[in-house]
């Protein structure tokens, strides 16, 4: 008989069971007591939490397939049209096909390069808006969090839905996305006691999920109608257009079906997995730069030396910014936007560390704990980008000490897409402005987190932007 996995077995009454707490912090505290491979009974769901690089490596090197499932979560199930997206589809043929299309047509290196003009246009418009709001160094602070979500959202939506997506719902999206973050965040009762799902008809969650679903569905329908009418022109070829072409002669019929099925659920991937994560990365990076003036000065010098008098950083300049890349890595290490990745569910039984993990077990990988484990990182809480200076570019997916994009076959397929926009936005924010957080005497810029599927700052990042002298002509 195999030994029983260590763990508290039942979860303490505070912590992961509430929708407002920060589960990765509760799980960190428990892992310190019970170890890096820990069992929890989350309601009626047997759950395993992985909290070290060593265990993650053993689990995913030897049993990647066994860990490739996803649980069917209450809110996600509806918003993803019955788990027909890539992120939450159960492991199997549908997921493989959907991921392949998504990868090839939106996220491959070639496609990501083809969206260069989209990124440069949106970043130029961000810089212009900041200039309008902050014409001089004595202007009031601006809400950078809100502006950055807008830009990452616009880039992703234009790439996926075409240049006219704004007409179809760009304005409404902010409100819907905020509400979606809120309904997807944390664990609801129905996720840990599936027989208790009926309760969400009474506690208001079902109504909120339906409202978000209805709004998103309406936006997707408009996008699809525009494509069918031929109103959508985009020089780069958006995801919906590409699918229309792929489906060939029977295109209209297929697109209508795609509209009610894959197209719409890919929309959910884009909003849940794509835009908020990139925005959170940019905002956490700016937060840490403001808290670490030495690092800010070095990053700004690098960017300004590379772009010179051009007034803006173009994508071709990004190759000359190794320090900025280390800064982004360091920010992803300390503030992975998805600190518990996305939940997994074992598809079959497997053995890790001598313990048997049965099929159907929910699995969390605590990326935040792994990225700050003193066994692998010296002074792990310190923001020190230079720690990435040796060893060349990070080989995502092969480095188990640093897993902000996840691990194995269900790891993030959007890394190229995300880093292209994150780097360009940050480089231009650093080049075109000097930044100041207006704080009281002795006060420090906080790093308090609001928990959701993506972890943002609890309070928006409001900063004073002081235009930099070379930043007149943008693009
Ligand atoms: C800095 C930005 C991003 C971060 C930190 C991030 C992080 C993650 C993480 C942690 C996962 C779960 C991996 C796992 O379970 O092992 C994931 C999955 C995923 N991400 Fe990203 N992501 C980012 C940007 C994007 C973008 C821009 C897109 C697409 C537009 C995207 C699309 C996806 C999809 C579709 C999945 C699900 C993959 C699957 O289940 O097969 N992500 N991402």
The pTM score is 0.91
Ligand 1 centroid distance, CA of 406 (Å): 8
Asked if residue 114 lies in contact with residue 425, where contact means CB atoms within 8 angstroms, the answer is no
Cα-to-centroid distance, 85 and ligand 1 (Å): 12
Instruction: Return the pLDDT at 18.
Output: 42
pLDDT for 331 beyond 80: yes
Strand 462-467 vs strand 142-143: parallel, antiparallel, or unpaired?
antiparallel
Question: Picking from 49-58, 95-104, 300-309, 424-433, which range would have the lowest pLDDT averaged per residue?
Answer: 95-104
Whole-number Å distance, alpha carbon 340 to ligand 1 midpoint, is: 12
Closest-CA residue, ligand 1 atom 9, reads 405
Q: Is the pLDDT of residue 270 over 60?
A: yes
Q: What number is the average pLDDT over the span 406-434?
A: 96
pLDDT (tens digit per residue) in 449-468: 987 778 999 999 999 999 98
Which residues contact ligand 1 via a Cβ below 6 A? Answer: 86-87, 99, 102, 107, 156, 269-270, 273-274, 277-278, 281, 337-338, 341-342, 404-407, 410-414, 417-418, 422
Most informative mutation of 331, 414, 419 for ligand 1 (most atoms within 8 A of CB): 414
Which residue puts its alpha carbon closest to atom 11 of ligand 1? 412
Q: How far is the CA of 316 from the centre of ligand 1 (A)?
A: 25
Sign, Cα dihedral of 391, 393, 394, 398: negative
Which token pair is 177?
Answer: 């996305």
Nearest CA to ligand 1 atom 3: 277
Instruction: Characterize the bridge pairing of strands 362-365 and 45-50.
Output: parallel
pLDDT for 80 beyond 80:
yes
Task: Give the C-alpha separation, 239 to 162, whole Å.
Answer: 8
Q: How many Å apart are CA 151 and CA 172, to the nearest integer?
A: 14
Of 160, 168, 166, residue with least CA distance to 125:
166
- Ligand 1 centre to CA of 291 (Å) is 27
> How many other CB atoms sit within 10 Å of the CB of residue 365?
29
Integer Cα distance of 223 and 243 in angstroms: 13
Average pLDDT for the chain: 85
Identify whether the C-beta of residue 426 lies closer than 8 Å to the C-beta of residue 286.
yes
Compute how many other C-beta atoms are within 10 angstroms of the C-beta atom of residue 77: 18
pLDDT of residue 247: 58
- Of 76-80, 349-353, 369-373, the least confident: 76-80
pLDDT over 90 at 137, yes or no: no
Atom of ligand 1 nearest to the CA of 85: 35
Measured CA to CA in angstroms, residue 452 lies from 230, 278, 330, 343 at distances of: 37, 14, 21, 13
Rounded to the nearest angstrom, the gap between the alpha carbon of residue 366 and the centroid of all alpha carbons in its chain is 15
- Whole-angstrom distance, CA of residue 424 vs CA of residue 200: 42
Instruction: Tell me what the mean pLDDT of segment 295-304 comes to.
Output: 97
């Amino acid at each position: 008989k195999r030994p029983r996995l260590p763990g508290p077995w039942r979860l303490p009454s505070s912590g992961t069971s509430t929708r407002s707490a920060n589960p990765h912090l509760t799980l960190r505290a428990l892992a310190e007591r019970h170890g890096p491979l820990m069992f929890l009974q989350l309601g009626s769901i047997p759950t395993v939490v992985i909290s070290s690089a060593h265990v993650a490596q053993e689990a995913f090197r030897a049993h990647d397939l066994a860990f490739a499932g996803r649980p069917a979560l209450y809110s996600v199930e509806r918003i993803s049209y019955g788990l027909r997206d890539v992120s939450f589809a159960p492991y199997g043929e549908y997921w493989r096909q959907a991921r392949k299309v998504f990868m090839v047509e939106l996220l491959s290196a070639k496609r990501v390069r083809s969206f260069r003009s989209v990124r440069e246009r949106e970043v130029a418009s961000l810089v212009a808006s900041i200039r309008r709001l902050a014409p001089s160094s004595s202007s009031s602070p601006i809400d950078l969090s809100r502006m950055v979500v807008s830009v990452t959202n616009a880039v992703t939506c234009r790439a996926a839905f075409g240049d006219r997506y704004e007409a179809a719902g760009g304005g409404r999206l902010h409100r819907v996305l905020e509400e979606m973050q809120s309904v997807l965040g944390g664990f609801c009762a129905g996720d840990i006691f599936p027989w208790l799902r009926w309760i969400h008809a009474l506690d208001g969650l079902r109504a909120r999920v339906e409202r978000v679903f209805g709004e998103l569905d309406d936006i997707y329908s408009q996008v699809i109608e525009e494509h069918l009418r031929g109103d959508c022109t985009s020089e780069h070829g958006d995801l919906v257009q590409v699918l229309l072409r792929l489906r060939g002669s029977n295109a209209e019929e297929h697109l209508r079906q795609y509209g009610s099925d894959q197209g719409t659920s890919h929309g959910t991937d884009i909003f849940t997995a794509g835009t908020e994560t990139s925005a959170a990365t940019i905002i956490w990076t700016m937060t840490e730069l403001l808290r670490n003036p030495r690092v800010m000065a070095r990053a700004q010098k690098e960017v300004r030396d590379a772009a010179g008098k051009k007034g803006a950083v173009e994508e071709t300049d990004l190759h000359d910014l190794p320090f900025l890349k280390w800064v982004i890595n360091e920010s992803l290490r300390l503030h992975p936007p998805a600190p518990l990745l996305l939940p997994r569910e074992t598809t079959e039984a497997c053995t890790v560390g001598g313990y048997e993990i049965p099929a159907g077990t929910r699995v969390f990988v605590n990326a935040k704990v792994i990225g700050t484990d003193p066994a692998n990182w010296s002074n792990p809480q310190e923001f020190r980008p230079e720690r990435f200076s040796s060893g060349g570019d990070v080989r995502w997916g092969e480095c188990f000490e640093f897993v902000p994009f996840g691990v194995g076959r269900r790891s993030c397929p959007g890394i190229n897409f995300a880093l292209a926009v994150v780097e360009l936005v940050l480089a231009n924010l650093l080049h075109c402005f000097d930044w100041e957080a207006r704080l009281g005497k002795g006060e420090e810029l906080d790093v308090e987190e609001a928990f959701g599927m993506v972890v943002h700052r609890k309070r928006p990042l409001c900063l004073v932007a002081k235009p930099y002298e070379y930043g007149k002509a943008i693009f």
